[in-house]
Amino acid sequence: MMALKPEPAFCLGALKVPISLHDTNRKRLYRRLKENAAVGAGAIVVLQGGEETNRYCTDTALVFRQESYFHWCFGVLEPGFYGAIDVDSGKTILFCPRLPEAYTVWMGTILPKSHFKEKYAVDEVCYVDEISDVLEAMKPAMLLTLRGVNTDSGSTCQEAVFEGVHKFKVNNTLLHPEIMECRVIKTPQELEVLRYTNQVSSEAHKEIMRKIRPGMKEYEMESLFQHYCYSKGGCRHTSYTCICGSGKNGAVLHYGHAGAPNDKVINDGDMCLFDLGGEYYCYASDITCSFPVNGKFTDDQKIIYQAVYDASRAVMKEVKPGVCWVDMHRLAEHTILEALKQHGLVQGDIDGMVEANIGALFMPHGLGHFMGLDVHDVGGYPEVR
């Protein structure tokens, strides 16, 4: 009896992610599109993957990370791909770039189409320069391309463009809201990857707490976090720029940028606020830990830490399916303001302060955000129509 071939999977760390995760995602998408009366029969989804980019005008290539919608659908790790999904049948076709012979010298073996067909478990693989002919032979009634605004950034996602697209009837409004809603709700397979990514990042935070000492630089903690996530967890990327604030830098929400590159000496008595998250297989984590570098809270530090901790526990006690997110945010604000009032830092009626948005002086961001293939994942804010 012949041994069964193992299911294709991604594995860089301890977690093996089956490529069937993306087959499940595609099925969710095309079944949802079938329920949309505006789509009709004969529609084909066409997505364009990310392109490799260089540092400004140089030939120094930046480490490629796949565009999130494309990864959600196909799991393709390489740049320059397109993908198509027949909404009626679910048939999936990938289009890989036709690489020049010189690629072998600089980048390694040019892999055949059969390699990508097996690696990504799709029905067919063609070259990008064949996309127009392949789609034309399928006689689609409509191509569904992805165009829509990311409501966190305000940027518009990349719509698929290829030579010959003008020959087809293209709709670029129907797909975005449907695929975005699919991404909001995670499958059990996706949740497993998110748990792994966050577990690795949690262990990396604990490693920092074990190794940190007064007199060290903030960037040493950034380096330690990145090293742990990659060496122990296979997380080549972080989900966002590492924020390693100590002392007053902890009050800067997105500290760690090029103008403030985690370069302060961590002094004895400083509170550290480290907001760090690794990324595995494009899935994000986002963990913030605050602690005194010397291991001992001052009385003032204890007041603020306890207020935030109590707010977190209050929300976790109440949150469940069906509750209003805004109500949870207000609960957190209310809890923090009560603690601040108790210690003489604010005065007045708590409900009045909440209504007057006084809490925003101390918590100018939201209670939280969606997380998935992006740290601020899609669907967190409704689109303005």
**Residue 225: half-sphere exposure toward Cβ, Cα within 13 Å:** 34
Three state DSSP letters for 207-248: HHHHHCCCCCEHHHHHHHHHHHHHHHHCCCEECCCCEEEEHH
CA-wise closest residue to 189 among 370, 19, 378: 19
Per-residue pLDDT tens listing for the chain (385 residues) = 566 788 999 999 899 999 999 999 999 999 999 999 999 999 999 999 999 999 999 999 999 999 999 999 999 999 999 999 999 999 999 999 999 999 999 999 999 999 999 999 999 999 999 999 999 999 999 999 999 999 999 999 999 999 999 999 999 999 999 999 999 999 999 999 999 999 999 999 999 999 999 999 999 999 999 999 999 999 999 999 999 999 999 999 999 999 999 999 999 999 999 999 999 999 999 999 999 999 999 999 999 999 999 999 999 999 999 999 999 999 999 999 999 999 999 999 999 999 999 999 999 999 999 999 999 999 987 654 4
Query: Is residue 66 classed as helix, strand or coil in its secondary structure?
Result: coil
pLDDT in tens, 36-86: 999 999 999 999 999 999 999 999 999 999 999 999 999 999 999 999 999
Per 3-state DSSP, what percentage of the chain is helix, strand, and coil (rounded to 5)? 40, 15, 45
Packed helices 20-34 and 188-211: angle between N→C axes, nearest 10 degrees: 130
Both tokens assigned to 168 = 């087809």
> How many CA within 13 A on the CB side of residue 348?
12
- Full-model pTM: 0.96
Amino acid at 381: Y
